[in-house]
Amino acid sequence: MTRSDVDPARVVIEALRLDRWSPDEVERRADRALALGVGGFILFGGEAERVGRLVERIRDDAARSLWIGADLERGAGQQIRGLTELPPPAALAAHSNPGAAVAAAGRVTARDALSVGINWVIAPVLDLDAEPDNPIIATRSFGADPRRVGELGVRWIDACQSAGAAACAKHFPGHGRTTEDSHIGLPSIGAPAELLEEDLAPFAAAANRVASVMVAHVAYPALGGRRAATVEPDIVSGLLRGRLGFEGVVTTDAMIMGGAGPDAASAAVGAVGAGCDLICYPADAEAAVASLARAADDPRFAARLQEASTRSTRSCPPSARASRPEFEPVAFARDTIAGDAEVLRGWTPRAPTRVVGVSDDPDVGPPAGRAGALGTIVADDLRAAGWRVTDSPDAGQCIVVLAATPRGWKGRGAPAAEVVERTRALVRSARRGLVVLLGHRRWLDVLGVPGICAWSTETVMERAAAEWLCSAVGAVAGARPGRADR
């Protein structure tokens, strides 16, 4: 195998940021990447109709198979406006019938994605929720128990792939024990190999089922080195391919992330050499391709590059469109809300109620489906249900909608101290106070005030929380008449 026998561009996945770039810039970058010969695209943001047209145009111009992916851990509406938002994995695991909930989520996500031409659903997360201070996993995980995470992950994968889209298990061999965010730098997990067996278990359960696996920009000294797993042959080729027997496509995490290192082009060569088949979202696709082409002067690397290109091309899922399924996301999400109706004892829709939004997610825009500022969705839905919603700080009832979610580049897991204190003060300022937490339920204990957990900042979760509040107030008021408004 020689350099002239391989096309390095086929292993590169270019990003199209419809959430940041103008339509003209998106089109220019798509054309440049197609001319380069990339293997596909990862999409961020955009309206469903526009995304569908863009993908169709790209496929027609390419006249070959393409991976068209998106991070869709919380439904296709996580990225694409007009598609279905869903609860995060932690919420699905808290459902009264988690297996059915997870399967429904996988199926709906795939059908929605395929309706706009996305054939690669970059989900689910199989990391364990093993470290409370982890700044990036938390609600993205199905939980802390390895067997349960594996079982729910496989249910999600099977449902997604049965509906026609390729799934992607991430972040191998496990991002759950980090206390740093790999968007910012290279975390290193110092746990012994025996403990890391727990992290590997969900991936082992999915290895013969899932179409693709994403490798983490995290170092695991006990498993094979102090560099990112992305470039460690002992982890990618030895552990994932060899021991777990995975035969599908291995992709890197986004190469723009800090954990990939300062020289993304060189890291791309290291990742392919370690056993990765796709280089996802390099900062400069042309530079990555050029670096891979130079490395292909080595016949052994050229053979590895050809293997990666052949596997990704052979495994690329079909581009067939699918119709969107009939599905009621708010009712579905309401059944994942975690809370005790007794916290609403004495509440009444007749009393003036203030709804305040508090965010622990600085410098982060709203999710794809959000309409209005934080808290306005809960306020509007309560008002529509007959509640007396007011902006007055003297209201006898106060609901604080707190956003405290895992976000790339945020750099912390727990809500900031000032956010905790502000939330507590607002809740305690009223005769009856409550927090609606859009984040991990463990932060309710940190807050130490009455509350319910609505898991994430998607519009569907705020609407589900409002429905839950209305239902709970009615339930407790009906149980003991006469105690509603004293």
User: Catalytic site residues?
Assistant: 183, 253
Q: Provide the edge-to-edge strand list for the sheet that holds 12-17.
A: 249-252, 212-215, 166-172, 120-121, 67-70, 40-44, 12-17, 279-280
Extract the tokens encoding 467: 């429905």
Give a three-class secondary structure readout of the chain: CCHHHCCHHHHEEEEEECCCCCHHHHHHHHHHHHHHCCCEEEEECCEHHHHHHHHHHHHHHHCCCCEEEECCECEHHHCCECCCCCCCHHHHHHCCCHHHHHHHHHHHHHHHHHHCCCCEECCCECCCCCCCCCCCCHHHCCCCCHHHHHHHHHHHHHHHHHCCCEEEEEEECCCCCCCCCCCCCCCECCCCHHHHHHHHHHHHHHCCCCCEEEECCCEEHHHHEEEEHHHCHHHHHHHHHHHCCCCCEEEECCCCCHHHCCCHHHHHHHHHHHCCCEEECCCCHHHHHHHHHHHCCCHHHHHHHHHHHHHHHHHCCCCCCCCCCCCCHHHHHHCCCECCHHHHCCCCCCCCEEEEEEECCCCCCCCCCCCCCCCHHHHHHHHHCCCCEECCCCCCEEEEEEEECCCCCCCCCCCCHHHHHHHHHHHHHCCEEEEEEEECCHHHHHHCCCEEECCCCCHHHHHHHHHHHHHHHHHHHHHCCCCCCC
244: left (phi over 0), alpha (psi -120 to 50) or beta: alpha
CA 40 to chain CA mean position, Å: 20
Distance CA 231, CA 252 (A): 9
Class of residue 140 by CB neighbours under 10 A (exposed 0-12, middle 13-18, buried 19+): buried
